[in-house]
Structure 1
Amino acid sequence: MTQVRQKDWVIAARALWARAGALPWLSGPGIIVGILLVCLPFALVDVPPLIDIPGHMGAAAIEAAGPGNPLEKYFTWKWVFTLNIGGGVLMKVLGAQFGILAAGWWSTVLATGLFAGGCLWTIRMLNPKGGHAAAWSLMFVFSFPLLTGFLNYILATGLALTAFAASLWLEKNPRARATMLIVAQPVAMLCHAIGGLLLALLVGAHALGRAIDELPEGWRWRDLTNRRWLETLDWKAIAHRMWLTCWPLLATVVTIALWKIFSPEPAASTNVWRWDQKAWSFVLTLRDQSQLLDAGTTIAACLLVLVGPFLGARWRWRQGLPALTVFALFLAIPSDINGSSFVDIRLLPVAAMLGLGLQDWSGARKPEWAKMVAYAGMGLLAVRLSVTAWSFAGYAEDYNKQLSALTHVEPGSRVLAFVEHTCLDESWRYARRDHLASLASLYRQAWVNDNWAVPGLHMVVPRFRPGRNFTADPSEFVWSARCSGGWRRNVDSALKYAPIERVDYVWLIDTGLPRRGDPRLQLVWQEGRSLLFKVRPLGIPTWKPKDF
């Protein structure tokens, strides 16, 4: 009897999925479960262990500093009209209610959820019965842009993907669709220029792809110089359809025009193409904890895209053109734009997500192949999410150890920080301590030389400038002997020129003890290779450093 009931449940579930017209993992509940699973590792941490997130939290603390806060002596916050403020605005709104620490956590989780949810919803709308590789797409959520902590970009891209999926869902209601797009485009663009631009790019690419799909069957093999065939096409109807679909994209043009008119001039108006960086991004996009796992995942995903067509998987133009357009933008766009770095390689994971998820496996030569793709993707995704959760627990423990140094820092102090920046030759796994020093502004209302302060791009304006090259990011970076190559500065060369007499503390994060002692530095805390020194005129060290 029990087996009969279970069989009835299975039959009923399959019938429900068939009526819904989507694979089970692309149903509403399936998408919600996917989002929750992707966001689950964040439940293990207070500070999301993504490289730039502590920097965003430190900046939010500066923005929220009220009268009497010591941070007012050291920084000014100046809101400017720039296409890079999404995370700052979100943290301000959330921070007013829940505090900066919770605001940083929730902002990261919401951005990650939008990124994953927008991806799955897009696959649901364009490939509901053939999205067997949806799990493969979700692997690219925890990729270079998110692991680096590009909060503004992830938030904007998540909004763009979600709004794109919503525009497909609202196609039968043109007025509501147009209203939504007109509102969503400026919001996404204000979060981040490149991430927001993806919305217009995806809508336009899909509209063009659908127009191509609706051409007469076999048009690709006809002689396009055949005037009779060309004359049979209703070009006015095609142009009218494209206009009705794409005219709301003028909102992006208007937003860019307003930005050009009202935003301050960038500090560096140069564009640089780094072709070696573009090439390396194929290797490093999924760089996380294990070189074997990450490289294997990348190779498997590439093989899936390349081999899929031989197994019967296809893209219609409306499915393939959005991914192809994002990939073309990745190739064409500069690597550095007006002081913002790594602009191009942020796009590669989005192209991979769309290329994998929109590959239609419903027409595979053997249904078993499509099921194998789905189950293999789910299994590999489970492994990667487990590794991510395990790494988050490890990062949380390490962050707590490093931040224990701040218990020895007097509130309102000036902290000169140096953190050892690792390189690929030394370690595949990233320590993610690059901007940990910014949390001194949050926890101790202290000045620290770790903030982003590019005029016209960031809102933090330093008032206290202890030295020409020791005011803001990247003045905190030093390199190990193995990575310096003889020309990058190490902790000794950094301290040699540092304005130590103008600060209260020197915080060395994972640098090891400098070779040369300084009588002004008194050791007050040590954790492994990290040390905190209190600056005292001609002070004599009272602690003997541990061997390491």
Structure 2
Amino acid sequence: MEQPQSHQAEEGSRRAWWEERWFVALLVLLSAVPLLYPTVPPLVDLPGHMGRYRVQLDVDSSPWLWRYYGFHWAPIGNLGVDLLIWPLGKLMGLEPAVKLVVLAIPPLTVAGFLWVAREVHGRLPPTALFALPFAYAHPFMYGFVNYALSIALAFLAFGLWLRLGRINRTQLRAILFVPISVIVFFTHTYGWGVLGLLCFSAEAVRQHDRGGGWFRSVFWAGLQASTMALPVLIMAAWRGETHGGMIRGWFEWGKKWEYVIQALRDRWEWFDQGSLLIVAALLMVALFHRKLSFSRNLLFSAFVLLVGYVLIPRTIFGSTYADMRLVPFVIAVALLSIRFREPGQSQLARTVAVAGLAFVLVRFGAHTASLGMAAADQNAKLEALNHVPMGARVASMIGQKQCNLAWEMPRNSHLGGMVIVRKHGFSNDQWAIQGQNLLDLRYHSPGVFRADPSEMVRAMHCRRRTAWRVDLAFRMLPHDKLDYLWLIDPPPINPAWTKDMTEVWRGPHSVLYRLHP
């Protein structure tokens, strides 16, 4: 029977330095450092989301926004940051509110990781430090902020689930997790799904360790986890009101392997993949080293998440990268499951603790540098908005660096959303996917340039069937339906394409043109 190590003995034994509360608090605070400098966190999709937040806050009072967009509240499983922005944006302004909420996500995630490890092992193993950089994993850097917030809440809730199970307060747990599951669901559906899988798998192991067979244990675990089933009814009603949300991309093994090696993707491929190799090496060492073992509880949870990753398609209800979002947390849970067979302050444990702290500092330091570079670049490009009048209709063409995948995150892909944020204007970068967000598109006149992904263009030599090439984009640009063209990191263009436009501003890898019907 697996029991948390040293729950009884820990009070009478001296804790190692990596288990001290001050050190845990320091780790949580350190995880916020990479986001302190940027005024607007330079996460790929975030400026686009901020455009929606501006509509949410001001569409009823702005003399311009209502011409282009509408906004309606609906009970969908994708509301986390949107709900928080409603009071905070009115209190402190949109951009500070967004920074505050996004800044809180990595510390909440780190706190959740550490709580889960503490509950499962009875004390904090130094190997858990290697999981902390996954708070800045690929999905977070892509700007999936509702999802990232839901995952942070899911791990905190999972820590509470484990604790209440450990002290046999299962009735209280059943009551508490009805509202908790609803909160996580409305933050983001995927986070609710992850929470359900984590709690079900952990409870199955707990029931088995109490002497039940696996069939009986799985049955009782499902019964316990059913307290989190209320959002199923909400989701059925929500999906019953929408149409056309596609599900596709089943078992695309090439893509699934790409998402694995991109789990820590940020800017420097050699560095990010090297970091992932360190993590993989630790997992392999834990398999064979006589002083290390795994918690069956968390290892089974990691396995259940892995099965979920294999089965989930790439696109669900029109939301892309559904499976990719799960990968980093499969790895993080596997890392959190590692423990020492003989807990204590052995030389090996101290060495691992120092190595883990170094890994955390290097990764967080790299994210600080990377996000700082991206923020400085975006601030320079955003000077263009000083030359755009309020309510202007702006089409962005944002160059994608390669015909296929470039490792560095395409952070400027939705920078055009800041036209909505700061100028209450029209931007062609918003998502028009029914049932996925609360924004309504009213201005359809620009045709293909009315919504995402018309803003992302590639070089003329890109001949992929789905490539939106810059020459095609210029050819189809409706000059009479838009006021400005904003080129951001553009691929090479023919000067003849802009001869009928007036250059208004030029900055680093960015040009703003006035269009003339």
TM-score by length of 2: 0.91
Mean Cα deviation higher: 18-27 or 51-60? 18-27
Give the Cα–Cα distance (whole angstroms) in 1 for the partners of residues 213 and 288 of structure 2. 34
1:181 aligns to 2:159 (yes or no):
no
Q: 1:405 — aligned with what?
A: 384
Q: 1:205 — aligned with what?
A: 201
Asked whether the equivalents of residues 512 and 531 of structure 1 are also in contact (C-alpha less than 8 Å), the reply is: no
TM-fit CA distance, 1:150 = 0.5
Alignment of 1:81-480 (within 5 A): 81-129=75-123, 131-171=125-165, 172=167, 173-215=169-211, 243=220, 247=223, 249-263=225-239, 264-273=241-250, 274-312=252-290, 313-363=292-342, 367-423=346-402, 427-480=406-459
Q: Structure 1's 111 and 508: CA in aligned 2 closer, same or farther, altered over 3 A? A: same
Give the Cα–Cα distance (whole angstroms) in 2 for the partners of residues 20 and 152 of structure 1. 41
Look up the equivalent residue of 2:83 and give its one-letter code. V
Q: What's the secondary structure of 1:208's corresponding residue?
A: helix
Q: What's the secondary structure of 2:378's corresponding residue?
A: helix
Q: What's the secondary structure of 1:45's corresponding residue?
A: coil
Give the Cα–Cα distance (whole angstroms) in 2 for the partners of residues 485 and 258 of structure 1. 40
Look up the equivalent residue of 2:75 and give its one-letter code. F
Q: 1:4 — aligned with what?
A: none
Q: What's the secondary structure of 1:416's corresponding residue?
A: strand
Aligned pairs, how many?
502
Look up the equivalent residue of 1:309 and give its one-letter code. L
Give the Cα–Cα distance (whole angstroms) in 1 for the partners of residues 300 and 127 of structure 2. 17
TM-fit CA distance, 1:373 = 2.5
Give the Cα–Cα distance (whole angstroms) in 1 for the partners of residues 284 and 344 of structure 2. 16
Q: 2:504 — aligned with what?
A: 524
Q: What's the secondary structure of 1:374's corresponding residue?
A: helix
Look up the equivalent residue of 2:328 and give its one-letter code. P
Q: What's the secondary structure of 1:328's corresponding residue?
A: helix
Q: What's the secondary structure of 2:503's corresponding residue?
A: strand
1:495 aligns to 2:474 (yes or no):
yes
Asked whether the equivalents of residues 18 and 353 of structure 2 are also in contact (C-alpha less than 8 Å), the reply is: no
1:50 aligns to 2:46 (yes or no):
no
TM-fit CA distance, 1:324 = 1.3
TM-fit CA distance, 1:184 = 0.8
TM-fit CA distance, 1:130 = 5.9
Give the Cα–Cα distance (whole angstroms) in 1 for the partners of residues 79 and 243 of structure 2. 15
Q: 1:220 — aligned with what?
A: none
Look up the equivalent residue of 2:189 and give its one-letter code. A
Q: What's the secondary structure of 1:122's corresponding residue?
A: helix
Asked whether the equivalents of residues 118 and 124 of structure 2 are also in contact (C-alpha less than 8 Å), the reply is: no
Q: What's the secondary structure of 1:272's corresponding residue?
A: coil
Give the Cα–Cα distance (whole angstroms) in 2 for the partners of residues 143 and 134 of structure 1. 16
Q: What's the secondary structure of 1:470's corresponding residue?
A: helix
Asked whether the equivalents of residues 246 and 315 of structure 2 are also in contact (C-alpha less than 8 Å), the reply is: no
1:534 aligns to 2:514 (yes or no):
yes
Mean Cα deviation higher: 50-59 or 307-316? 307-316
Q: Structure 1's 40 and 483: CA in aligned 2 closer, same or farther, altered over 3 A? A: farther
Give the Cα–Cα distance (whole angstroms) in 2 for the partners of residues 161 and 267 of structure 1. 32
Mean Cα deviation higher: 461-470 or 368-377? 368-377
Q: What's the secondary structure of 1:44's corresponding residue?
A: coil
Q: Structure 1's 246 and 24: CA in aligned 2 closer, same or farther, altered over 3 A? A: farther
TM-fit CA distance, 1:49 = 1.1
Asked whether the equivalents of residues 184 and 192 of structure 2 are also in contact (C-alpha less than 8 Å), the reply is: yes
Q: 2:6 — aligned with what?
A: none
Asked whether the equivalents of residues 402 and 527 of structure 1 are also in contact (C-alpha less than 8 Å), the reply is: yes
Mean Cα deviation higher: 127-136 or 420-429? 420-429
Structure 1 residue runs of 5 or longer lacking an equivalent are 1-15, 216-232, 538-548
Give the Cα–Cα distance (whole angstroms) in 1 for the partners of residues 503 and 79 of structure 2. 39
1:78 aligns to 2:72 (yes or no):
yes
Asked whether the equivalents of residues 143 and 349 of structure 1 are also in contact (C-alpha less than 8 Å), the reply is: yes
Q: What's the secondary structure of 2:32's corresponding residue?
A: helix
1:69 aligns to 2:46 (yes or no):
no
Asked whether the equivalents of residues 470 and 493 of structure 2 are also in contact (C-alpha less than 8 Å), the reply is: yes
Asked whether the equivalents of residues 421 and 477 of structure 1 are also in contact (C-alpha less than 8 Å), the reply is: yes
Give the Cα–Cα distance (whole angstroms) in 1 for the partners of residues 208 and 402 of structure 2. 46
Q: Structure 1's 411 and 234: CA in aligned 2 closer, same or farther, altered over 3 A? A: closer
Q: 1:225 — aligned with what?
A: none
Q: Structure 1's 365 and 249: CA in aligned 2 closer, same or farther, altered over 3 A? A: closer
1:37 aligns to 2:30 (yes or no):
yes
Q: 2:3 — aligned with what?
A: none
Give the Cα–Cα distance (whole angstroms) in 1 for the partners of residues 443 and 214 of structure 2. 63
Mean Cα deviation higher: 487-496 or 351-360? 487-496
Identity %: 26
Asked whether the equivalents of residues 302 and 334 of structure 2 are also in contact (C-alpha less than 8 Å), the reply is: yes
Give the Cα–Cα distance (whole angstroms) in 1 for the partners of residues 83 and 479 of structure 2. 35
Q: Structure 1's 206 and 24: CA in aligned 2 closer, same or farther, altered over 3 A? A: farther
Asked whether the equivalents of residues 114 and 124 of structure 2 are also in contact (C-alpha less than 8 Å), the reply is: no
TM-score by length of 1: 0.86
Q: What's the secondary structure of 1:465's corresponding residue?
A: coil
Q: Structure 1's 210 and 21: CA in aligned 2 closer, same or farther, altered over 3 A? A: farther
Q: Structure 1's 17 and 289: CA in aligned 2 closer, same or farther, altered over 3 A? A: farther
Moved over 4 A (4+): 20-23, 233-236, 245-248, 424-427, 481-487
Asked whether the equivalents of residues 459 and 469 of structure 2 are also in contact (C-alpha less than 8 Å), the reply is: yes
TM-fit CA distance, 1:22 = 6.0
